[in-house]
Structure 1
Amino acid sequence: MSLLQLQGVEASYGPAQALFGVDLEIGEGEVVALMGRNGMGKSTTIKTICGMLAASAGSLQFDGHDLRALPSHKIARLGIGLVPEGRRCFAPLTVEENLTAAARPGPWDMQRVAELFPRLEERRHQTAGSLSGGEQQMLTIGRALMTNPRLLILDEATEGLAPVVRQEIWAAIARLKADTGLAILVVDKSLRELSAVADHAVILNRGCNVWTGKISALEAKQADRYLGV
């Protein structure tokens, strides 16, 4: 059964249309990769799901709820946790304060987040602004998990990080898939890492669906056409 379903979604920034009939489906406990080159509609699709950009056409359903009828804060309360591009921690607040600021009742608490990212426990009383980029990304993921979502959306969660930190993030995503029933929508460019965790992928090009399937079935010429620089 679908947890999130987008059908024929269109969206615009003023007079400039950005999405042209996007389709996307995520089931309970499923990991889906949303892929495409920069500027092809991935972040716009996420903004539309989260109510930060209004859809001009199409259907957006989450667990039977019409997302087009809801403001972003009510969408979040339905169980959608967002890890936005660029981290966006609350820099003056401590790690603990960042995590508890958005906390909602459920299995994810400080202890469980610390088990996933031990560095956050070590830096519990440091301000977020004093952390490294990788630690801030761990904090942002932890903060989203503290909302106890049913769907976690990761928008370029490994971009700009050192290789060793990238691997820590990918290991955490794999652990989330293996140990929880959490559905995950992950935007990233790394085919190798995505193929290890994603059940299937959707590729966007110029705001349209151009490919859907298992990453293992993606041909080299398709990858070069839609994902190459």
Structure 2
Amino acid sequence: MSLLELSHVSAFYGSSQALFDVDLSIDEGQVLAVLGRNGMGKSTTVKVICRMLANRGGSVFFAGQDLANVPTHRAARLGLGLVPEGRRCFPNLTVYENLIASARPGAWDFSAIAKLFPRLEERRDQLSTSLSGGEQQMLAIGRALMTNPRLLILDEATEGLAPVVRTEIWAVISRLKNETDMAILVIDKSLKELGTVADTGVILEKGRSVWSGAFSDLTPQITDRYLGV
């Protein structure tokens, strides 16, 4: 069985159905790109994986465990590390306090994060609200890594960032792929950068998985049909 496997997942916000039939899987050490136009169910799928939203149908298995009825904090302890859309750093905590707030024992400690993002060490004692948007994104990634996850989920981790910071974030993702055995799920709009790191991809349209396969098998016809504006 894959590290993460969603099969025929449906989900609702109240009486409004958001996911109808989502299938995806990711193996240890693999990078999966989740693609789709805005509003097609990508972030909702992340919420289901992290148990912030229950699936009403289908199944979600992580590390061989059925996540039905598993609360968010227990799912995190199983090895799910989330870098949420919009960063959501704790505003009243320093950089260091943000990093240790949910830290768990493992290779990713403050020293390792400081090597990955030297600017976080420089700003260790500053409040997160004093950081630039790019530095806050580094902090959000570092905070997720300090949970020492088996699966790192990056939800629009480069959105709205300056090009030089985007390049740095993509370099970090590539480094994590090449130097660790962690699985990575990435939601991003940039096919060019995704192509440098993603092994596989899945496209969502109106809450359904409509294409999946090796990322290298994405053709212009597929991207025009499901991702074009």
State the TM-score, normalizing by the size of structure 1: 0.98
**Offset at residue 221 of structure 1 (A):** 2.1
What is the alpha-carbon root mean square deviation over aligned residues? 0.8
**Partner deviation per Cα, 1:118-165 (whole Å, 9 max, x = no partner):** 111111111100000000000000000000100000000000000110
- Where in structure 2 are the equivalents of 1:25-36 lying within 5 Å? 25-36=25-36
**Offset at residue 215 of structure 1 (A):** 2.5
AA at the equivalent of 1:130? S
Give the structure 1 partner of residue 89 of structure 2. 89
Give the structure 1 partner of residue 117 of structure 2. 117
Q: Please state whether the residue corresponding to 2:164 is helix, strand or coil.
A: helix
AA at the equivalent of 2:6? L
Q: Please state whether the residue corresponding to 2:107 is helix, strand or coil.
A: coil
AA at the equivalent of 1:50? C
**Offset at residue 214 of structure 1 (A):** 2.2
Give the structure 1 partner of residue 200 of structure 2. 200
1:20 aligns with 2:20: yes
Give the structure 2 partner of residue 38 of structure 1. 38
Q: Please state whether the residue corresponding to 2:103 is helix, strand or coil.
A: coil
Q: Please state whether the residue corresponding to 1:172 is helix, strand or coil.
A: helix
Hey, what's the Cα distance between the residues in 2 that align with 1:39 and 1:68?
Answer: 25
Hey, what's the Cα distance between the residues in 2 that align with 1:223 and 1:59?
Answer: 28
Give the structure 1 partner of residue 135 of structure 2. 135
Q: Please state whether the residue corresponding to 1:113 is helix, strand or coil.
A: helix
Hey, what's the Cα distance between the residues in 2 that align with 1:113 and 1:21?
Answer: 37
**Offset at residue 69 of structure 1 (A):** 2.2
Hey, what's the Cα distance between the residues in 2 that align with 1:73 and 1:39?
Answer: 26
Give the structure 1 partner of residue 221 of structure 2. 221
**Partner deviation per Cα, 1:72-103 (whole Å, 9 max, x = no partner):** 11000100000000000011211001001111
- Where in structure 2 are the equivalents of 1:52-63 lying within 5 Å? 52-63=52-63
**Offset at residue 216 of structure 1 (A):** 2.3
Hey, what's the Cα distance between the residues in 2 that align with 1:4 and 1:218?
Answer: 22
Q: Please state whether the residue corresponding to 2:29 is helix, strand or coil.
A: coil
AA at the equivalent of 1:16? S
AA at the equivalent of 1:80? L
**Offset at residue 218 of structure 1 (A):** 1.3
Q: Please state whether the residue corresponding to 1:154 is helix, strand or coil.
A: strand
AA at the equivalent of 1:198? A
Hey, what's the Cα distance between the residues in 2 that align with 1:66 and 1:216?
Answer: 31
* Count of residues in Structure 1 that have an aligned counterpart in Structure 2: 229
Q: Please state whether the residue corresponding to 1:28 is helix, strand or coil.
A: coil
**Offset at residue 228 of structure 1 (A):** 1.5
Give the structure 2 partner of residue 11 of structure 1. 11
Q: Percent identity?
A: 68
Give the structure 1 partner of residue 51 of structure 2. 51
Hey, what's the Cα distance between the residues in 1 that align with 2:69 and 2:44?
Answer: 18
Give the structure 2 partner of residue 151 of structure 1. 151
Q: Please state whether the residue corresponding to 2:195 is helix, strand or coil.
A: helix
Could you tell me which runs of 5 or more consecutive residues in structure 2 were left unpaired when the two chains were aligned.
none
Q: Please state whether the residue corresponding to 1:121 is helix, strand or coil.
A: helix
Contact 1:191 1:215 (8 Å CA) reproduced: no
Give the structure 1 partner of residue 67 of structure 2. 67
State the TM-score, normalizing by the size of structure 2: 0.98
